[in-house]
Homo-oligomer: A and B are copies of this chain.
Protein backbone atom coordinates (compact mmCIF):
# COMPACT_ATOMS: atom_id res chain seq x y z
CA UNK A 1 0.00 0.00 0.00
CA UNK A 2 1.48 3.33 -1.02
CA UNK A 3 0.64 6.99 -1.39
CA UNK A 4 0.24 6.72 -5.12
CA UNK A 5 -1.80 4.19 -6.98
CA UNK A 6 0.55 3.92 -9.88
CA UNK A 7 0.44 0.27 -10.79
CA UNK A 8 -1.62 -1.21 -13.61
CA UNK A 9 -5.32 -1.30 -12.99
CA UNK A 10 -7.94 -3.79 -13.91
CA UNK A 11 -10.94 -2.64 -15.91
CA UNK A 12 -14.28 -2.68 -14.14
CA UNK A 13 -17.61 -3.71 -15.63
CA UNK A 14 -21.13 -4.49 -14.51
CA UNK A 15 -23.18 -7.36 -15.91
CA UNK A 16 -26.90 -7.75 -15.37
CA UNK A 17 -28.85 -10.96 -15.08
CA UNK A 18 -32.37 -9.85 -15.99
CA UNK A 19 -35.21 -12.18 -15.11
CA UNK A 20 -38.73 -12.03 -16.43
CA UNK A 21 -41.76 -14.26 -16.20
CA UNK A 22 -43.92 -14.92 -19.19
CA UNK A 23 -46.02 -17.75 -20.59
CA UNK A 24 -45.55 -19.65 -17.36
CA UNK A 25 -41.78 -19.73 -17.72
CA UNK A 26 -38.90 -17.95 -16.07
CA UNK A 27 -36.90 -16.11 -18.70
CA UNK A 28 -33.54 -14.38 -18.95
CA UNK A 29 -32.72 -11.42 -21.15
CA UNK A 30 -29.59 -11.79 -23.28
CA UNK A 31 -27.93 -9.66 -25.89
CA UNK A 32 -25.97 -10.76 -28.90
CA UNK A 33 -22.54 -9.20 -28.87
CA UNK A 34 -21.77 -6.85 -31.76
CA UNK A 35 -18.04 -6.68 -31.12
CA UNK A 36 -15.11 -8.87 -30.29
CA UNK A 37 -14.36 -10.77 -28.23
CA UNK A 38 -17.17 -13.29 -28.50
CA UNK A 39 -18.70 -11.31 -31.35
CA UNK A 40 -22.00 -12.88 -32.29
CA UNK A 41 -22.27 -14.77 -29.00
CA UNK A 42 -25.07 -14.32 -26.54
CA UNK A 43 -24.09 -12.58 -23.34
CA UNK A 44 -25.47 -10.80 -20.31
CA UNK A 45 -26.14 -7.10 -20.86
CA UNK A 46 -23.44 -5.01 -19.26
CA UNK A 47 -20.50 -2.72 -19.82
CA UNK A 48 -17.85 -0.54 -18.29
CA UNK A 49 -18.33 1.43 -15.12
CA UNK A 50 -17.63 5.13 -15.47
CA UNK A 51 -15.57 6.90 -12.84
CA UNK A 52 -18.34 9.26 -11.84
CA UNK A 53 -21.11 6.77 -11.28
CA UNK A 54 -21.82 4.24 -8.56
CA UNK A 55 -22.00 0.55 -9.34
CA UNK A 56 -25.77 0.58 -9.00
CA UNK A 57 -25.99 3.49 -11.38
CA UNK A 58 -23.75 1.77 -13.89
CA UNK A 59 -25.94 -1.31 -13.82
CA UNK A 60 -29.06 0.82 -14.34
CA UNK A 61 -27.48 2.74 -17.17
CA UNK A 62 -26.22 -0.29 -19.04
CA UNK A 63 -29.57 -1.96 -18.76
CA UNK A 64 -31.24 1.13 -20.16
CA UNK A 65 -28.76 1.50 -22.98
CA UNK A 66 -28.70 -2.09 -24.08
CA UNK A 67 -32.27 -3.16 -23.54
CA UNK A 68 -34.35 -0.03 -22.99
CA UNK A 69 -35.37 -1.20 -19.52
CA UNK A 70 -35.61 1.26 -16.68
CA UNK A 71 -37.19 1.42 -13.25
CA UNK A 72 -36.63 -2.22 -12.51
CA UNK A 73 -35.86 -3.99 -9.29
CA UNK A 74 -32.15 -4.49 -9.12
CA UNK A 75 -29.58 -5.65 -6.60
CA UNK A 76 -25.94 -6.54 -6.50
CA UNK A 77 -25.22 -10.23 -6.88
CA UNK A 78 -21.53 -11.00 -6.70
CA UNK A 79 -18.21 -9.77 -8.06
CA UNK A 80 -16.24 -11.92 -10.47
CA UNK A 81 -12.52 -11.55 -10.68
CA UNK A 82 -11.00 -14.65 -12.27
CA UNK A 83 -7.82 -13.59 -13.98
CA UNK A 84 -8.53 -14.88 -17.46
CA UNK A 85 -12.24 -14.26 -17.53
CA UNK A 86 -11.77 -11.71 -20.30
CA UNK A 87 -9.28 -12.76 -23.00
CA UNK A 88 -8.09 -9.20 -23.63
CA UNK A 89 -6.90 -8.20 -20.20
CA UNK A 90 -7.85 -8.16 -16.56
CA UNK A 91 -11.50 -7.26 -16.12
CA UNK A 92 -13.42 -7.36 -12.86
CA UNK A 93 -17.16 -7.62 -13.20
CA UNK A 94 -19.72 -6.70 -10.58
CA UNK A 95 -22.81 -8.75 -11.42
CA UNK A 96 -26.33 -7.56 -10.72
CA UNK A 97 -29.63 -9.23 -10.94
CA UNK A 98 -32.76 -7.51 -12.04
CA UNK A 99 -36.42 -8.45 -12.07
CA UNK A 100 -38.84 -7.03 -14.61
CA UNK A 101 -42.58 -7.20 -15.09
CA UNK A 102 -44.14 -8.48 -18.28
CA UNK A 103 -41.20 -10.02 -20.01
CA UNK A 104 -43.46 -10.22 -23.03
CA UNK A 105 -44.15 -6.51 -23.45
CA UNK A 106 -40.66 -5.15 -23.52
CA UNK A 107 -39.15 -6.93 -26.42
CA UNK A 108 -36.14 -4.82 -26.68
CA UNK A 109 -34.85 -1.62 -28.03
CA UNK A 110 -31.44 -2.96 -28.87
CA UNK A 111 -28.93 -0.14 -29.20
CA UNK A 112 -25.26 -0.82 -28.61
CA UNK A 113 -25.94 -4.47 -28.71
CA UNK A 114 -26.79 -6.00 -32.02
CA UNK A 115 -29.83 -7.81 -30.73
CA UNK A 116 -31.56 -8.83 -27.56
CA UNK A 117 -33.96 -11.64 -26.71
CA UNK A 118 -35.63 -13.51 -23.89
CA UNK A 119 -34.62 -17.11 -23.28
CA UNK A 120 -36.33 -19.66 -21.10
CA UNK A 121 -34.07 -20.08 -18.09
CA UNK A 122 -33.72 -23.84 -18.49
CA UNK A 123 -32.59 -23.63 -22.10
CA UNK A 124 -29.90 -21.00 -22.35
CA UNK A 125 -27.45 -21.06 -25.24
CA UNK A 126 -23.76 -21.06 -24.49
CA UNK A 127 -22.66 -17.66 -23.30
CA UNK A 128 -19.67 -15.36 -23.65
CA UNK A 129 -17.02 -14.98 -20.93
CA UNK A 130 -17.96 -16.59 -17.62
CA UNK A 131 -21.56 -15.52 -18.01
CA UNK A 132 -22.93 -19.04 -17.72
CA UNK A 133 -21.48 -19.21 -14.23
CA UNK A 134 -22.87 -15.82 -13.32
CA UNK A 135 -26.30 -16.87 -14.48
CA UNK A 136 -26.13 -20.03 -12.42
CA UNK A 137 -25.36 -18.05 -9.30
CA UNK A 138 -28.14 -15.60 -10.06
CA UNK A 139 -30.63 -18.43 -10.40
CA UNK A 140 -29.60 -19.84 -7.06
CA UNK A 141 -29.92 -16.45 -5.46
CA UNK A 142 -33.38 -15.99 -6.91
CA UNK A 143 -34.49 -19.41 -5.73
CA UNK A 144 -33.34 -18.65 -2.23
CA UNK A 145 -34.59 -15.12 -2.21
CA UNK A 146 -38.24 -15.59 -3.15
CA UNK A 147 -38.72 -17.60 0.01
CA UNK A 148 -37.67 -14.78 2.32
CA UNK A 149 -38.36 -11.60 0.45
CA UNK A 150 -41.34 -10.44 -1.54
CA UNK A 151 -39.39 -10.09 -4.76
CA UNK A 152 -41.67 -12.40 -6.71
CA UNK A 153 -44.10 -9.52 -7.07
CA UNK A 154 -41.50 -7.67 -9.11
CA UNK A 155 -41.95 -10.30 -11.77
CA UNK A 156 -45.75 -10.08 -11.79
CA UNK A 157 -47.97 -7.48 -13.41
CA UNK A 158 -49.43 -5.00 -10.92
CA UNK A 159 -52.63 -7.04 -10.85
CA UNK A 160 -52.32 -10.77 -10.90
CA UNK A 161 -54.16 -13.94 -9.97
CA UNK A 162 -53.07 -16.35 -7.28
CA UNK A 163 -52.67 -19.06 -9.87
CA UNK A 164 -50.26 -16.91 -11.87
CA UNK A 165 -48.28 -16.21 -8.75
CA UNK A 166 -48.13 -19.85 -7.83
CA UNK A 167 -46.96 -20.68 -11.35
CA UNK A 168 -44.11 -18.23 -10.83
CA UNK A 169 -43.00 -19.98 -7.67
CA UNK A 170 -43.26 -23.35 -9.32
CA UNK A 171 -41.18 -22.17 -12.26
CA UNK A 172 -38.47 -20.72 -10.06
CA UNK A 173 -38.33 -23.51 -7.52
CA UNK A 174 -38.66 -26.18 -10.14
CA UNK A 175 -41.37 -28.18 -8.42
CA UNK A 176 -45.11 -28.18 -8.09
CA UNK A 177 -46.79 -26.72 -5.04
CA UNK A 178 -50.08 -27.58 -3.39
CA UNK A 179 -52.66 -25.04 -4.45
CA UNK A 180 -54.61 -24.87 -1.21
CA UNK A 181 -51.58 -24.70 1.03
CA UNK A 182 -49.93 -22.09 -1.14
CA UNK A 183 -52.98 -19.82 -1.14
CA UNK A 184 -53.58 -20.29 2.56
CA UNK A 185 -50.05 -19.31 3.50
CA UNK A 186 -49.88 -16.50 1.00
CA UNK A 187 -53.15 -14.90 2.08
CA UNK A 188 -52.30 -15.39 5.75
CA UNK A 189 -49.40 -12.99 5.27
CA UNK A 190 -52.01 -10.27 4.84
CA UNK A 191 -49.95 -8.55 2.18
CA UNK A 192 -52.29 -9.02 -0.76
CA UNK A 193 -55.19 -6.74 -1.53
CA UNK A 194 -58.12 -8.54 -3.12
CA UNK A 195 -59.39 -6.34 -5.92
CA UNK A 196 -62.99 -6.12 -7.06
CA UNK A 197 -61.79 -7.20 -10.44
CA UNK A 198 -61.58 -10.45 -12.29
CA UNK A 199 -59.89 -11.76 -15.36
CA UNK A 200 -62.22 -11.91 -18.32
CA UNK A 201 -62.60 -13.81 -21.53
CA UNK A 202 -60.00 -16.42 -21.09
CA UNK A 203 -62.70 -18.88 -21.99
CA UNK A 204 -63.00 -20.29 -18.52
CA UNK A 205 -64.01 -19.23 -15.04
CA UNK A 206 -62.80 -15.69 -14.20
CA UNK A 207 -60.14 -15.45 -11.51
CA UNK A 208 -59.92 -12.75 -8.88
CA UNK A 209 -57.13 -10.22 -9.21
CA UNK A 210 -54.88 -9.18 -6.36
CA UNK A 211 -52.15 -6.67 -5.85
CA UNK A 212 -49.24 -6.55 -3.43
CA UNK A 213 -49.47 -4.04 -0.59
CA UNK A 214 -45.98 -2.51 -0.62
CA UNK A 215 -46.68 0.07 2.04
CA UNK A 216 -48.09 -2.48 4.45
CA UNK A 217 -45.02 -4.62 3.89
CA UNK A 218 -42.75 -1.70 4.71
CA UNK A 219 -44.63 -0.96 7.89
CA UNK A 220 -44.50 -4.58 9.00
CA UNK A 221 -40.82 -4.82 8.12
CA UNK A 222 -40.03 -1.94 10.41
CA UNK A 223 -41.78 -3.86 13.16
CA UNK A 224 -39.53 -6.85 12.64
CA UNK A 225 -41.82 -8.85 10.36
CA UNK A 226 -40.09 -11.32 8.08
CA UNK A 227 -41.70 -12.43 4.84
CA UNK A 228 -41.70 -16.21 4.59
CA UNK A 229 -43.46 -18.16 1.90
Contact = CB atoms under 8 A, between A and B. Distances in A.
Is chain A's interface secondary structure helix, strand, loop, or mixed overall? loop
Which interface class (under 10, 10 to 19, 20 to 34, 35 or more) fits A? 20 to 34
Q: Which of A36, A51, A81, A83 has the most CB of B within 10 A?
A: A81
Interface in A169-212: none
B7 A48 contact: yes
A223 interface: no
Contacts of A88: 5
A10 interface: yes
Nearest to A13: B1
A44 interface: no
A110 to B, nearest CB: 13
Copies of this chain present in the complex amount to 2
A49 to B, nearest CB: 7
A26 interface: no
- Per CB-CB distance, the 3 closest pairs between chain A and chain B, nearest first, are A55-B81, A9-B9, A79-B79
15 contacts: A1-B35, A1-B47, A1-B48, A1-B112, A5-B11, A5-B88, A5-B89, A7-B48, A7-B51, A9-B10, A51-B90, A52-B83, A53-B83, A54-B81, A54-B83
Interface of A: 1, 3, 5, 7-12, 35-36, 47-56, 76, 78-79, 81-83, 88-90, 92, 94, 112
